[in-house]
Amino acid sequence: MKKKLTWSLILTTFFLFLPQTVHAEEVQSSLANSIGWMTLIPPIIAIILAFVTKNVVLSLFVGIFSGTIIMQFYNDTNILMAIFNGFMDIVDYILNSLADPWNAGIILQVMTIGGLIALITSMGGAQAVAESLAKKAKGPISAQIITWALGILIFFDDYANALIVGPIMRPVSDKMNISRERLAFVIDATAAPIAGIALVSTWIGYEVGLINDAYQSIGQEVNAYGVFLQTIPYRFYNILMLLFVVVTSLTLREFGPMKKAQERARDTGLLVDETSEVETGDEEQEVLNKEKASIWNALIPIGSLIVFSFLGFYMNGRSEILSGDNSMLAQTITNAPLSFETIRETFGASDASIVLFQAALISSIIALVMGVTQDLFNFSKGIEIWVNGMKTLMITGVVLLLAWSLSSVMNELGTADYLVSLLGDTLPPVLLSSVIFILGAIISFSTGTSYGTMGILMPLAIPLATALQPGNPDFVIMSAGAVLTGAIFGDHSSPISDTTILSSMGAGSNLIDHVKTQLPYALAVGTISIVFGYLPSAMGLNIWIILPITFAATIAMVFILGRKVDTTEQS
């Protein structure tokens, strides 16, 4: 039945291309205007197929293929040639995605951290950490709270969060019989949501830069970082999602597919759905000498990863700023190299993909030397373990490449532009922030990128909010906050988002199972963000009154919808 449905979806998509033809000059002016809603076909196909087949690679490939066919067909090509040329174009998109320095850095970072984790595991470090944490984690409540706390501590980058917390907490979580879907959710919910609002992170430069550019476009000079700080109380989704994790962890209350996953883990002992394939290459690494297993075999390499990441963010960002055109900022960094402003600006200007790869490589060398000096393995064996650890994450690299390629196809089709055009020219001020939040969520869910969504909406949101309520700076700040948090909401829920992919990989969960269980939670928190957050704010209610109300609504929702599932107790 599933196979028939899959092929029906593919064939239906192909035939949708046939009714219209558009001349080349019309395509060149604006493809999104020419084909309208058909720009949504690639992400819709990819997402539907992912849920139907649970095969992410196939789903992303078909999504890309449908997009390349659309572009070929609307370039005055017949359908057969469109199919042929569209297939050939797929290779170009994948090659271009791999050739992008940022993407290449992420792939190298992911694989290198995979090798590092393999070394740590083989030295017994992961086992020792798990045993140590297990003594503190007396049950599923404390295990989840510790996972949440680790996610908060690694606030500086969402990728590092997903890649570090999962392998550390997975053995502890497994011992408490917590489903891998639940672990993936806790990891994912403390990745982008905390990195997006952290005072210093790899996100900060991009977010502050967008705010500054948007204000300059309407002729206003502002302290962009100050505006960023003012948006934090309006980042309802980020704040409420962090609260939601704590409340559900403390009460053990679940609802929807997550409740079923937790009940499955409790009743059958199956941490993952036996009908689902875990695409992460999750394999047990042999501990070479259990008697020499030490917590320091994990703490030193992972601590090195964090320390060298911080140093790398500073040095890389500093170099970028000093070689740039902003002489005032360069002077500030030179005069006050360790000030908060300098650290903030250097972190924001750094290339996180390269820095984390470099830090992971140095940490891998440290782990390798530690293993050799402890006579756990020789250099040849250590390198073999490291390479095998990289191999286990090869499928993650493939999924990321396909997700980025799909994003490129949608960028050329103008998917985001079409969605933005749906906003219309007139909108009641009271609905602006809510609509921006929803539109940001739809775009980032469809494209799998929060950065891209922020870049599209911020230049529109601030001028529009200023025009609708010219004398109300809080209204403009609220709208900017809606852009930033709406983008994270959609990205957090999307099966083609890199952070979603990495979180499921780190937890050892099936990607689609992770999305299916997480999506209702994201929608619930997103709904509260609108109903109890953005609508009252737009009506003029004070933000410091609204925040406690949203907290109360989130807690009430957990108790109303949720039912307690203690995975350590048999039903």
At 135 the three-state DSSP class reads helix
Q: Which of 280, 279, 262 is nearest to 271 (CA)?
A: 262
Residues 184/144, Cβ–Cβ less than 8 Å: no
Q: pLDDT at residue 520 above 90?
A: yes
Q: pLDDT at residue 318 above 80?
A: yes
pLDDT score at 31: 66
What is the average per-residue pLDDT within 175-184? 93
pLDDT score at 365: 93
Q: pLDDT at residue 27 above 50?
A: no
Residues 534/434, Cβ–Cβ less than 8 Å: yes
pLDDT score at 523: 96
What is the average per-residue pLDDT within 131-135? 73
Q: Predicted confidence band at 525 (pLDDT cuts at 50, 70, 90)?
A: very high
**Tens of pLDDT along 110-127?**
788 878 888 888 888 777
pTM of the model: 0.75
At 254 the three-state DSSP class reads strand
DSSP bridge pairs for 254 = 563
Residues 132/138, Cβ–Cβ less than 8 Å: no
Lowest-pLDDT choice from 37-46, 296-305, 346-355: 346-355
Q: Which two tokens stand for residue 457?
A: 């909406």
Dihedrals phi, psi of 106, to nearest 5 degrees:
-65, -45
Alpha helices in 154-285 (DSSP H): 158-175, 180-189, 192-195, 204-217, 224-231, 236-251, 257-268
Mean predicted lDDT score pLDDT of the chain? 82
DSSP state of 253: E
Give 376-380's long-range contacts (Cβ < 8 A, gap of 24+): 376/122, 376/123, 376/288, 376/289, 376/292, 377/122, 377/288
Give the span between the Cα atoms of 168 and 189, in whole angstroms: 16
Q: Predicted confidence band at 287 (pLDDT cuts at 50, 70, 90)?
A: low
Q: Which of 567, 501, 560, 568 is nearest to 527 (CA)?
A: 560
At 209 the three-state DSSP class reads helix
Q: Where are the domains of the chain?
A: 2-99, 102-178+189-206+287-396
Q: Predicted confidence band at 24 (pLDDT cuts at 50, 70, 90)?
A: very low
Alpha helices in 422-510 (DSSP H): 429-447, 450-468, 473-493, 498-507
DSSP state of 287: P
Q: To the nearest whole percent, how much of the chain has pLDDT over 90?
A: 25
Dihedral sign, Cα of residue 460, residue 465, residue 470, residue 476: negative
**Tens of pLDDT along 35-88?**
777 888 888 888 788 778 767 788 888 888 888 888 887 776 677 888 888 888
At 564 the three-state DSSP class reads strand
Q: Which of 391, 487, 500 is nearest to 50 (CA)?
A: 500
Give the span between the Cα atoms of 428 and 439, in whole angstroms: 15
Give the span between the Cα atoms of 220 and 226, in whole angstroms: 14
pLDDT score at 395: 76
Q: pLDDT at residue 440 above 70?
A: yes
Query: β-pairing, 253-254 with 563-564?
Result: antiparallel
Lowest-pLDDT choice from 92-101, 289-298, 379-388, 445-454: 289-298
